Amino acid sequence: PNNDKRIIVSQHTYWPYNFTMNTGDGATTKWGSENDQAECIEELDRIANKFVKKGIPVIIGEWGSIERSNTDDRAFHAEFYAREVRKRGMLPVWWDNGYEKSGGFALISRKNQTWVFPSIADGIIKGVNDGTHVCQKETRKIINTFDYSSGKIRYSLPINSFVALNIYNMMGRSIYSTKSFNQPAGYYSISFPTDKFSSGEYILQLKTNDNLISKKIVFSK
């Protein structure tokens, strides 16, 4: 219905088709030229202008590219696409159909709980992070520093703030979290809970009153 403020659009966009899905005439395993990027921007602008700029939220509920021994091109496409989608205020959701061989969209092995194509997963994460607008003025105001080294999580707050720490594995599962607690301005150091982790990569997330900062860390025992 027209003028309904409760509408959200979920769009399935396998773009460009010849790279992402097509296995017949016209199919290509290459993507990333300046012309490719310009056409991608034009396509996403078309979607954003039709919906987002009219106040209608958009989720790209299905997108991705099939496996055909072209991981580098797929990773570049994934990072670029995710970044440009987020720049326009939309959300990208990769279509993972669980099929890991040629012609499949799988990024995660459901059997082994590991990334099948980690470079593509990393590309999506980087693209989303780069494309997500963050109010830099507020970020500097609430969190001055945030880092991890030698088993310590360190951060500083220039003002009083509520703080919560979350740690996720690379599959997005929560491994460790703290309840939100209030801290005055100052420098803080938290010991990494080593007994709860095995060696590997994790996403460290710090939340304050109005900000959320994420950082990938590598932990080894």
SS (H, E, C) 95-159: CCCCCCCCCCCCCEECCCCEECCHHHHHHHHHHHHHHCCCCHHHHHHHCCEEEEECCEEEEEECC
- Give the Cα separation of 49 and 157 in Å (integer): 39
Residue 84 one-letter amino acid = E
Which uninterrupted H or E stretch holds 60?
Answer: strand 58-63
Listed by start position, the domains of the chain span: 9-131, 136-219
Q: Classify residue 202 by its DSSP letter.
A: E
- Give the Cα separation of 200 and 218 in Å (integer): 6
Instruction: Give the angle subtended at the CA of 159 by the CAs of 157 and 162, to the nearest 5°.
Output: 75
Architecture of domain 9-131 in CATH? Alpha-Beta Barrel (3.20)
Over residues 25-43, the pLDDT tens digits come to: 999 999 999 999 999 999 9
138 near 211, Cβ under 8 Å? Answer: yes
Which residue bears the tokens 């991608």?
Answer: 40
pLDDT of residue 159: 80
| Residue 144: both structure tokens together | 């001055």
Higher pLDDT, 152 or 135: 152
In angstroms, the first-to-last Cα distance of the chain is 58
| Residue 41: both structure tokens together | 């921007």
Least confident of 20-24, 35-39, 70-74, 127-131: 127-131
What predicted TM-score, i.e. pTM, was given to this entire model?
0.64
Q: Per-residue pLDDT for 198 more than 60? A: yes
Identify the CATH assignment for 136-219 out of 1.10.10.10, 3.20.20.70, 2.60.40.3080, 3.10.580.20: 2.60.40.3080
| Residue 198: both structure tokens together | 């095995």
- Give the Cα separation of 170 and 132 in Å (integer): 20
Residues whose CB falls within 8 Å of the CB of residue 175, separated by 6 or more in sequence, listed in order: 167, 168, 169, 196, 197, 202
Over residues 36-95, the pLDDT tens digits come to: 999 999 999 999 999 998 888 999 999 999 999 999 999 999 999 999 999 999 999 999
126 near 136, Cβ under 8 Å? Answer: no
